[in-house]
Amino acid sequence: MRKIVLITTAVSSILSAQVTDKEIANMFMLGFYGTSSNDSTIKSDICKGLGGVIVFQKSPINKSAVKNFNTASSLKALTTDLKSCATKPLIAVDQEGGVVQRIKFSQKYPKASSVAKMGTAKAKSIYSNMASELNSVGINLDLAPVADIALNPKNRVIVKWGRSYGKDPSTVIAYDRTFINAMHKFGVATSLKHFPGHGSSLGDTHKGFVDVTNLWQAKELEPYRALKNETDTIMVAHIFNKHLDANHPASLSYKVVTKLLRDKIGYHGVVITDDLQMGAIAKHYSLANAIALAINAGDDILLFANQVHPKRVIKIEKLISIVRSLLKNGKISETSIKNANTRINALKAKL
């Protein structure tokens, strides 16, 4: 028995050595503090292989303070600098319109529920303007549109803020498609969210555990089926549904990400987690456990927005170290990392 253990350990060590630090880093998207590469190690991290960054205009601690940019020119300068590495990063932003509009310069974009009353022609004009603005400041990935269906009038995170296009899946699909097409015309990738559907929930996964077991409806999957070949990425929510997985929330679930989204629905693009520092995950899982579960689930990009506090920023070096340890201990596979890199690099090549 001891010989078998030694051989297994040796094999794990060999496999872990075959995965490069750049391949590991490519699976992460991080938020950071600083308005230029001089303020942060973020450019160095990108040059070492960090897959992407997410930018925010305002600090989460002090809304009057700047986190990454305060003008269009400062954002453009930042993104240009970050793209100067040989390893081209994904530079993402949450830009839906309405309450979720991280870039607020000359234009204010309406929320989804308002856009749905204007018709798709007007929506095309609105989202073309948005895409043009994102492209002009160097953003190449918009973490939008919202594919959630407004099923629960008491929903506090989607319906309350008008982030859904409506109660009818066909309406949501039509406006999501308009959004995606507008972004693509300006070279901006998109992310349908929040799989497998957040529109029926009551709670907010930013704050803690959200169970949708008795609320979720199968029709919440329809936008993902319809748009699986049109969107560039799909963001997975942290909601829990025991009928889909009795043990883990969607973002950390092999049954949801691989068996449902990839195998049953047939989506083969990049899967990105919602922010893994949100309460639904951080309050229930250690950092290493969350990373292991996310990778084993089939997630490609693990998002850490670093919106908690400047003193609690998660660095790429720590994440690489954790993944190395997980590989060495046989808790995750080399194949999962290789497959994720194949999908991520295909997306980057498109951009």
Distance CA 231, CA 41 (A): 31
DSSP 32-71: ---SSTTSSSHHHHHHTT--EEE--SB-SS-TTSBSS-SS
Six-digit token pair at 233? 């990425």
**SS3 label, residue 319:** helix
From 277, 227, 236, select the one nearest 259 (Cα to Cα): 236
Query: Which helix (H) or strand (E) element contains residue 77?
Result: helix 72-82
Catalytic, out of 21, 81, 184, 206 = 206
Which residues touch 98 (CB under 8 Å, ≥6 apart)? 109, 110, 111, 112, 113, 114, 161, 162, 163
Catalytic, out of 176, 274, 299, 300 = 274
Q: Does residue 204 have an active-site annotation? A: no
Phi, psi angles (nearest 5°) of residue 328: -60, -35
Q: Does residue 206 have an active-site annotation? A: yes
Catalytic residue ranges: 206, 274
